[in-house]
Amino acid sequence: MPEERRDWSLRVRDLVKTFKEVRANDGITLRVEPGEVYGLLGPNGAGKSTLVKQVIGLLAPDSGTITLGPYDLVADPDAARQLCSYLPQAQMPIASFRARQAIDITGMIRGGDRDTVTRRRDELIEALDIGEWRDTLGAKLSGGVRRLVGFAMVTACPGRVMVLDEPTNDVDPLRRRLLWQEVRRLGDAGVAVLLVTHNVMEAERAVDRLAVIDRGRLLAEGTPSSLKAEDRGRLRLQVMLGPRVETPALPPFVQLHTRVGHNLMTVVAEAEAAHAIRWAQELMGLGLAEEYALGATTLEDVYIRLTGDVEAAGREAG
């Protein structure tokens, strides 16, 4: 990595932020390199948005440091706002602007020159497949399209750090894919991307590294494969139970299980694969299960093990 790039890493050290009695961030340390897409995963209320709001200078920490290259972002929140682009978790207030105007205006406020911003706006509208709505007023856009326009607004003239808080909320599966491609492109252009998401499976494909946060603390950090490595030797057996079927008695080889709706997810040792299949077939034979699948553990299994957040699995299964 060239020296110039290495100097621009984003470093968060021992960050603490409390709201009355809630320790929203309880000593968080992490580092994101330019060109890296870094995911922040964690259940509702984990402290993800609080963390990114401090990075971009919207909230002041109680203690700890945040630096970007030579800049102290805590001491200099103006620098933070200038150097970081931010897509907030809440929708952008663009009711009275047409989609393309909203993108142009934010690009130029961020210091882009008109020609570059115009070109970039057209590229983004095309890449995100939202051309149909380029002249539509913000107030008339659907939630998902508004989200995509928000993304185009903040990426028309990106800073050195891009903070995206739940960028794919409300976006349909096909355009989500387009959005992830653009996120990847930002990384490839040398931007450090800090990406907050609930979508574990999508994160697995889109990020270089990720941190799992819960109750203000960083529980684990690494590449998707290094995090999954701890689950080596285990398999996931997923059983789709029939309607109104109670969770059946679990055989002793089931190491972990969660149930969301009809979906019973279990983790079993690789050595027990044959037993696991036999058990699933028995459940089908008894009419308790409709189908099953045995496969490698995923990042989602790691995430559930760390946080106990079964809802994430439900979102994926649904």
Ligand X SMILES: Nc1ncnc2c1ncn2[C@@H]1O[C@H](COP(=O)(O)OP(=O)(O)OP(=O)(O)O)[C@@H](O)[C@H]1O
Which amino acid, 73? L
For residue 47, the partner it binds in Mg ion, ligand X, none, with Cβ less than 5 to 8 A by kind, is ligand X
Q: Which residues contact 293 (CB under 8 A, 6 or more apart)?
A: 237, 238
Q: Of the ranges 49-57, 238-246, 261-269, 297-305, which one interacts with Mg ion (CB under 5 A)? A: 49-57
From 43-51, 125-133, 140-148, 242-250, give the range in contact with Mg ion by CB under 5 A. 43-51
- Report yes or no: 25 and 216 within 8 Å, Cβ to Cβ: yes
Phi, psi of 35 (to 5 degrees): 90, -5
Q: SS3 sequence, 271-310?
A: HHHHHHHHHHHHHHHCCCEEEEEEEECCHHHHHHHHHCCH
The residue (of 22 and 137) whose beta carbon lies closer to ligand X is 22
Closest approach, Cβ 140 to ligand X, in A, equals 27
Q: Which residues are within 8 A (CB) of 174 and not within 5 positions of it... i.e. 6 or more apart?
A: 129
**What residues numbered 87-106 form the site for Mg ion, per CB under 5 A?**
89
Backbone phi, psi, residue 231, to 5°? -95, 10
CB of 309 to ligand X, least distance (A): 10
Measured from the CB atom, is 119 or 315 closer to ligand X? 315
Query: How far does CA 77 lie from the centroid of its chain?
Result: 24
Closest approach of Cβ 49 to ligand X, in Å? 3
Strand partners, 36: none
> Closest distance between ligand X and the C-beta of residue 87, in Å?
13
Pick what 138 binds: ligand X, Mg ion, none; C-beta below 5 to 8 Å, kind-dependent.
Answer: none
CA atoms of 308 and 313, how far apart (whole Å): 10
For Mg ion, the binding residues in 257-316 under the rule CB under 5 A are none
CA-to-CA dists, residue 140 to 64, 73, 93, 101, 143, angstroms: 42, 37, 12, 14, 9
Nearer to ligand X, 25 or 297 (CB): 25
Number of H helices, E strands in the chain: 12, 14
Going by their DSSP bridges, the two strands 209-214 and 37-41 should be labelled as: parallel
Least distance in angstroms from the C-beta of 14 to ligand X:
17
Q: Which CB atom, from 50 or from 199, has the smaller least distance to ligand X?
A: 50
Q: Is the CB of 49 or the CB of 197 nearer to Mg ion?
A: 49
Which 53-82 residues touch Mg ion, going by CB under 5 A?
none
Q: How far is the CB of 22 from ligand X (least distance, A)?
A: 5
**49 sits near Mg ion (criterion: CB under 5 A):** yes
For residue 194, give the nearest of 15, 318, 18 by alpha carbon: 15
Q: Which does 15 bind (CB under 5 to 8 A by kind): ligand X, Mg ion, none?
A: none
At position 221, the amino acid (one-letter code) is: E
- Please, which residue, 193 or 268, has the CB nearer to ligand X? 193
| Interaction partner, residue 42 (Mg ion, ligand X, none; CB < 5-8 Å by kind) | ligand X
Q: What is the end-to-end Cα distance of the chain in Å, rounded?
A: 41
What does the binding site for ligand X look like in residue numbers (CB under 6 A)?
19, 22, 24, 42, 44-50, 89
| Residues lying near Mg ion in the complex (CB under 5 A) | 49, 89
